[in-house]
Amino acid sequence: MVTDTCPGKPKMNALESIRILQSRMGESIIGQESVIEQLVIGLLANGNILMEGLPGLAKTRAVKSLAKNMAADFSRIQFTPDLLPSDITGSEVLYTESGQPTFRFEKGPIFANIVLADEINRAPAKVQAALLEAMEERQVTVAGTTHKLPPLFIVMATQNPIEQEGTYPLPEAQMDRFLLHVYIDYGTKEAEAKVIRLVRGEEDPAKASETQAPVPQQVVFDARQEINQVQVSEAIESYIVDLIFATRFPDRYDEKLATWIRIGASPRGAIGLDKCARVHAWLNGRDHVLPDDVRAVVHAVLRHRIALSYEANADGVSSNEVIDEILRLVAIS
């Protein structure tokens, strides 16, 4: 549990260290506190994250900020249409040792603690599948040999919602493998002004801030152990299940809602809600989950797991609005 070994300094627990991580990220990601929180929730819940937002809204910067402030290996994969699966996983390379040819496995960029998959929808399906298999199995198999990924491993993939020409959208079944779908929107006027000042300061070497000691990986593992002890009552469990079933059988709740949903959330949605609600409760210093914890994470957990109908698209109804309606209709028992 020790996160600072410098003499004369008090020892910090996991929660204090994670709050310091959030604070440091907030210094370089202005006006996106909810995005920072969701990235940390995904990290602590041991899940992968899909980030979506218009160009220039700091998707890549947010992931880099997380990696920069942690004692973790970071790699970035820029997805392009000509990318091959081996460019991600690595491949067997022929070497000559003592005059004898031998194959040696050269690890790809997937073998890092924090992997940024930039513009994942620009790569063809075979490449996407290679990445998603590694995300799911936490291992890579090349030439019949299985190679384990690091104990601390998270993929943070980004995609642009407006440029669809020449892209390969993720199938719904593969989207389901992401724990969270984080949507980044524009900030406020005040935040925009702070961003301008931040970038201006970063370009001035005289104003460069001192390097701070990164947060150790062990903090994440300690936090996960504590999160496993967070209690979930039967009433909260029932609430989570009711929310999931409302996406599958919307006609039982509201006729209009039934016309909006084509496919409901999978069991991964229920598991994700449970995990993320416990993390949210822990981040707020509680050892038990409240309904507010479930509501705080439900949009990010479910927005990519609900397939909207033609009627919803024609009416301009978004996944967020559908989830809002479900929250209104489903009461905690």
Per-residue pLDDT for 181 more than 50? yes
**Residue 157 — very low, low, confident or very high, per pLDDT cuts 50/70/90?**
very high
Distances (CA, A) of 206 to 194, 198, 200: 19, 13, 11
Rounded distance, CA 129 to CA 123, Å? Answer: 10
**Residue 4 — very low, low, confident or very high, per pLDDT cuts 50/70/90?**
very low
For the residues 39-44, what does the mean pLDDT come to?
A: 96
**Residue 143 — very low, low, confident or very high, per pLDDT cuts 50/70/90?**
confident
For the residues 239-252, what does the mean pLDDT come to?
A: 96
For the residues 128-148, what does the mean pLDDT come to?
A: 86
Give the contacts of 197 (CB within 8 A, at least 6 positions apart). none
Residues 168 and 294 in one domain: no
Residues 115 and 261 in one domain: no
Of the listed ranges 121-130, 220-229, 240-249, 315-324, the one predicted with least confidence:
121-130
What is the pLDDT at residue 210? 61
More confident residue, 260 or 128: 260
Is 278 domain-assigned?
A: yes
- Domain boundary among the residues 140, 170, 204 is at 204
Give the contacts of 292 (CB within 8 A, at least 6 positions apart). none
Residues 34 and 170 in one domain: yes
Say which CATH number the domain at 291 has.
1.10.8.80
Q: Which domain holds residue 236?
A: 229-329
Of the listed ranges 135-149, 163-177, 216-230, 286-300, the one predicted with least confidence:
163-177
Residues 23 and 110 in one domain: yes
Say which CATH number the domain at 36 has.
3.40.50.300
Number of domains in the chain: 2
Residues 73 and 153 in one domain: yes
More confident residue, 198 or 224: 224
- Domain boundary among the residues 204, 221, 242 is at 204
- Tokens 């084509």 sit on residue: 262
Is 11 domain-assigned?
A: no
What is the pLDDT at residue 2? 39
When the pLDDT of each residue in the chain is averaged and rounded to a whole number, the result is: 88
Rounded distance, CA 262 to CA 269, Å? Answer: 16
| Cα torsion 247, 249, 253, 255: sign | positive
pTM for this model (two decimals) = 0.89
Is 59 domain-assigned?
A: yes
Residues 82 and 117 in one domain: yes
